Amino acid sequence: MLLTRYGTREWMIITLAAAVPAAAGVYFGWWWLAIASGIVWAALASFFRDPLFRRPATGEARDFVSPADGLVSAVLEVPDHVATGGPATIVRIYLSVFDVHINRAPCEATVVDTIHTPGKYLDVRIEESAKVNESLVMRLRTASGLLLGVKQISGKVARHIVCPVSAGKHLARGERYGMIKFGSTTELVVPTAEVERVLVTKGQRVKGGVTVLVRMKRA
């Protein structure tokens, strides 16, 4: 288990902030303070954890994996989406503060562009938040020309979307590409006409880079 580079500034601040009371606790023999500081540091730093050795559950390229850890909060179809340029199927994933917040590419693809949309910061457990909160859509194109997207959505606490990739960047299936700091929502958006089968249901827990969300007709 590593700490992600996307949270370097935060976990360094956390470390420094915890080190002072911990050192004071050791110096004065206040072991309760040293122990409490260590527990608080571990709790906060764990938000930036980056699990190692994750691999997609199947080797099939047209099996698109989850872009995040969390709970499937919705599976729906919309008549049009900026990511696909037409009808789209969306698998929405809710991430609590206890989930790993690293985002991963659902398939092997090249970044077309990223679209940032300012917005509100409603609690992500409110369904409306997926439509009105600040968000960033990363549009992708596969080798066969399939257009899809991954949407990162801010929340009431999560107000910092991290997506350092740019147009032309090639991503492998399951590769890390960013994160949302603290509770948030991530959506996989794929063209409905190209979906062979959705493999998850609302209420199911999924693991980023591992769990297959949809099987497409082509990759």
For residues 196 and 132, the answer to whether their CB atoms sit within 8 Å is no
> Which residues form the catalytic set?
184
Tokens of 215: 């099987």
Q: What whole-number distance in Å separates Cα of residue 61 and Cα of residue 167?
A: 22
* Rounded-to-10 torsion of CA 169, 170, 174, 176: -30
The CA distance from 44 to 61, in Å, is: 36
SS3 40: helix
Rounded Cα distance between 20 and 39, Å, is: 14
User: Crossing angle of helices 8-28/31-45, nearest 10°?
Assistant: 170
